[in-house]
Amino acid sequence: MDLDPNILHGQQRGTLAAHLGIRYVEVTRERVVAELQIRDELKTAGGRLHGGTIMAFADTLGAVATLVNLPPGAGTTTLESKTNFFAPGRDGTVRGECVPLHRGRRTMVWQTRITDERGRLLAQTIQTQMVLSAP
């Protein structure tokens, strides 16, 4: 099922996703796209976009992508997440695009690429979500 980004923005009010400022652009079973504007409080003391911001951004997208693929009543939790960093982010808006590597009954694996406004790849995250069946 596709999700209206505004519904997600409402559901995530007051959570980390809102605290970081994640704005969803597209939420479908095949792809989740979101944006994040770089602000001081998302940076390191050295003035770069914090790796932790990037990992939290990607983790959020992978969890949302799992949610829209779950059977009714099921839940999800992140089992593991791995990020490689390629280039520093400094200013402007970064974009995260999350696509599936695997969607099974027990686990789903998502790949999220984080790019800057020029399309340069800043980081790539792969994460495994456990599918928690309805009791």
**Site residues (CB under 8 A) for a copy of itself?**
11-12, 14-20, 40-46, 48, 50-53, 55-60, 63, 75, 77-86, 88, 101-102, 104, 106-107, 109, 121, 124, 126, 128, 130
Q: Which is nearer to a copy of itself, 81 or 97 (CB)?
A: 81
Q: Which is nearer to a copy of itself, 30 or 86 (CB)?
A: 86
Nearest to residue 116, comparing CAs of 48, 56, 68, 63? 48
Angle at 19 between CA 35 and CA 124, to 5 degrees: 40
Cα–Cα distance for residue pair 88/72, rounded to 1 Å? 40
Nearest to residue 65, comparing CAs of 19, 129, 14? 129
Minimum CB separation from a copy of itself for residue 38, in Å?
Answer: 11
Residue with tokens 């001081």: 40
Helix boundaries (H) for 2-134: 5-11, 16-20, 51-67
Minimum CB separation from a copy of itself for residue 14, in Å?
Answer: 5
DSSP-assigned beta bridge partners for residue 51: none
Q: Which is nearer to a copy of itself, 31 or 128 (CB)?
A: 128
Amino acid in position 80: E
Minimum CB separation from a copy of itself for residue 1, in Å?
Answer: 17
Q: Which is nearer to a copy of itself, 33 or 38 (CB)?
A: 38
Minimum CB separation from a copy of itself for residue 80, in Å?
Answer: 5
